[in-house]
Amino acid sequence: MKKKNHKYIFVTGGVMSGVGKGIASSSIGKILQSKNYKVNPIKVDPYLNVDAGMMNPTEHGEVFVIDSGLECDQDLGNYERFMDIDLKPDNYMTSGMIYQYVIDKERNLGYKGKCVEAIPHITGEITRRIQKSAEASGADISIIEIGGTVGDYQNVMFIETARILKLKNPDDVIFVLVSYLPIPSTLGEMKTRPTQNAVRNLNSYGVQPEIIIARGAVPLDERRKEKIAVSCNIAVENVISAPDVESIYDVPLNFEKDNLGEIILKSLRLKTKNEKDMKEWSSFVAKVKSTKEEASIAVIGKYFDTGDFVLSDAYISVIEAVKYSAYELGVKAKLTWLNSKDFENGEKEVLMLGDFDGVIVPGGFGESGIEGKLKAIKFARENKIPYLGLCYGMQLAVIEYARNVIGLKDANTTEIDENSKDPVIDIMDGQKKNIEDGKYGGTMRLGAYRAILEKGTIARSAYGKDEVWERHRHRYEVNPDYVKKIESAGLVFSGKSPDGTLMEIAELPRNVHPFFLGAQFHPEFKARPLHPHPLFTEFMKAAIERKKK
Ligand code: GLN
């Protein structure tokens, strides 16, 4: 039998950024999976950063990490969560990666004396990567989300690549434009003109979208659907209404109301093979909508500077992980953001933590707000408030324990105090060299590492197995010289690297504290709507217990 051609869906954004291209791409993936097709999502980012590792989360949102250790855009987190798949490095590329590769190749005589140019060499390299990923994935369909908005200067090469791919494979490539329809308050009417202009813009690159996903505050009415169809040169049923919804997880179901899955399959000349469905997903969404009872969780962080908008992006995986576990247990997690700096001045601010059912200190870097976080951790430990520490939140829990239980007043991480008398968190030799050489990009302990779990601990019983693979992103570690001292003072290292040298999980026994646990890794990167993460679930169980009291 002839092998079927791989199909490509390019998703571009029109009018403005932030209209939900990532969620739209994830939802398309989810729908196609429900129709029994294997999908391969790819994010292409126009910026020149070689990966997302050095980008400030307040500006760019969370840095997501996949198993391989690649630091990437948070959209890969959305893809993994919606499609419940583990992504590979070739599911992500940036202009920086492409240019670096092409320039290195040129330096090595890889182009055999030819003049190296954006077209065809950059576009050729983009195509090579997309096709390589498509092939390696074994999927039927790749969904390639092009970062930025149509009309940007930076993403032109990617759109050009897609155009050429379509030219060569007209039956196997389609374009989806995720556009925005504003409702100016002075008019109170939804306007289609910006979308028409976005399509003209795409047309000027030689690209005609097959499908337009029309984002807006409210559903699109028939009149506007027709208007968009006629002016943008597409079939009216290919204009999909995409109003704001209560939960992002509702988006695939909502798209299906307009038959998006069938339309895509038809445009790609694929058959409908409706053997699967979205039942499990639908019941998750129903739970999200119907759960009323709340548990209140305080998240103590520092990436608050730009207000609430960016905040949720900077910690998106943590937020989602908490929610999934909460829903699994039949409650809604009500998250409150507390700035650690607020705890630093007086003694009374930290008392408010007593009103919460649980406290989380997520990952972070550097000095700012640290003393406030330590105060909060001490309060949670002493007052038996369920505590979950993620990466920095684990390291700080160890420091707090060393200072206040063991009495090592000067205990610290060398990230903050290089001359600490008791560096209970320290940088390992390999990492020291990276910093001395100024090699910051992609050099932390990154990606999936194995941890062995100690019998009889909370971690072991939560996971229900002896070993786990979890994703990392840090430079510092619990200092092996202090492990014995800390353990004999009662803090249990319940997860360790296979050789026993790296501390992966720290916890207090149940008879001492209802739940006090920190993970050196980021469990949030592996939490999925349909598979909540066991550590978050255990934390939420303890929070619900506290709420009952
Ligand atoms: N700053 C700490 C380290 O580099 C923790 C990093 C994190 O929380 N992701 O080790």
pLDDT, tens digit, 9 for 90 and up, residues 68-109: 999 999 999 999 999 999 999 999 999 999 999 999 999 999
Residue 380: strand pairing partners: none
* CA-to-CA dists, residue 63 to 153, 208, 531, angstroms: 24, 33, 21
Tokens matching residue 8:
């490509």
Q: 256 CB less than 6 Å from ligand 1?
A: no
At the topology level, CATH places domain 291-548 in Rossmann fold (3.40.50)
- Give the nearest ligand 1 atom to 473 CA: 9
- All CATH 3.40.50.300 domain ranges in the chain, comma separated: 7-283
How many whole angstroms from 364 Cα to the centroid of ligand 1?
6
From 42, 141, 131, select the one nearest 94 (Cα to Cα). 42
pLDDT value, residue 1: 54
Which residue has the CA at smallest separation from atom 8 of ligand 1?
A: 363
What average pLDDT does range 419-432 have in this prediction?
91
- Atom 1 of ligand 1 has which residue's CA nearest to it? 365
Atom of ligand 1 nearest to the CA of 365: 1
Q: Please check whether residue 479 is in contact with residue 423, taking contact to mean a CB–CB distance below 8 angstroms.
A: yes
Ligand 1 center to 373 CA (angstroms): 14
Looking at per-residue pLDDT, the higher value among 340 and 233 belongs to 233
What is the chain's length?
Answer: 549
Could you tell me the distance, in angstroms and rounded to a whole number, from the CA of residue 392 to the centre of ligand 1? Answer: 5
- Residues classed as catalytic: 391, 522, 524
Phi and psi of 249, rounded to 5°? -75, -10
Provide the percentage of residues in the chain whose pLDDT is more than 70: 97
- The pLDDT value recorded for residue 533 is 98
The C-alpha atoms of residue 311 and residue 184 are separated, in whole angstroms, by 26
Its CATH architecture, for the domain 7-283, is: 3-Layer(aba) Sandwich (3.40)
- The pLDDT-based confidence of 309 (bands split at 50, 70, 90) is very low
Residue 445, ligand 1, Cβ within 6 A: no
- In the chain, pLDDT over 90 holds for what percent of residues? 82
Q: What is the mean pLDDT of residues 167-182?
A: 96
Whether residue 463 has its Cβ less than 6 Å from ligand 1? no
The chain-wide mean pLDDT, for the chain, equals 93
In ligand 1, the atom with minimum distance to the C-alpha of 444 is 4
Q: Separation of 110 CA from ligand 1 center, angstroms?
A: 39
pLDDT at 17: 84
- The finding on whether 301 has its CB within 6 A of some atom of ligand 1 is no
Mean pLDDT within 223-241:
95
pLDDT value at 219 more than 90: yes
CB of 415 closer than 6 angstroms to any ligand 1 atom = yes
Average pLDDT for residues 470-474, to the nearest whole number?
97
Q: Does the beta carbon of 476 sit less than 6 angstroms from any atom of ligand 1?
A: yes
The count of other CB atoms within 10 Å of the CB of residue 149 is 23
Give tens-digit pLDDT for 482-530: 999 999 999 999 999 999 999 999 999 999 999 999 999 999 999 999 9
Q: What is the pLDDT of residue 310?
A: 44
Beta bridge partners of 300: 338
Q: How much distance in Å is there from the Cα of 501 to the middle of ligand 1?
A: 18
Assess whether the C-beta atom of 475 lies below 6 angstroms from ligand 1.
Answer: yes
Instruction: In whole angstroms, give the CA distance from residue 247 to residue 130.
Output: 31
- The neighbouring-strand residues paired with 212 are 177, 239
Q: Whose CA is nearest to atom 3 of ligand 1?
A: 474
Radius of gyration over alpha carbons of the chain, in Å? Answer: 25
* 413 Cα to the center of ligand 1, angstroms: 10
Q: What is the DSSP letter of 531?
A: B
129 in contact with ligand 1, CB cutoff 6 A? no
CA angle, residues 48, 72, 466, in degrees to nearest 5: 155
- CATH 3.40.50.880 domain range(s) in the chain: 291-548
Q: Rounded distance, CA 270 to CA 532, Å?
A: 33
**Exposure of 137 in the CB half-sphere (CA atoms within 13 A):** 27
Check pLDDT > 70 for residue 413.
Answer: yes
Binding site membership of 446 for ligand 1 (Cβ less than 6 Å): no
Ligand 1: which atom is nearest the Cα of residue 366? 1
CA of 371 relative to ligand 1 center, distance in Å: 16
> Which among 449, 476, 521 is the best mutation to test ligand 1's pocket, defined by most ligand atoms within 8 Å of the CB?
476
Q: Is 47 in the pocket of ligand 1 (CB under 6 A)?
A: no
- For ligand 1, say whether the CB of 363 is within 6 Å of any of its atoms: yes
CA of 391 to the centre of ligand 1 (A): 6
User: Which of 63, 71, 390, 415 to probe ligand 1 with, by most ligand atoms within 8 A of CB?
Assistant: 415
Q: What is the pLDDT, as a whole number, of residue 311?
A: 60
Ligand 1 pocket member 67 (CB < 6 A): no
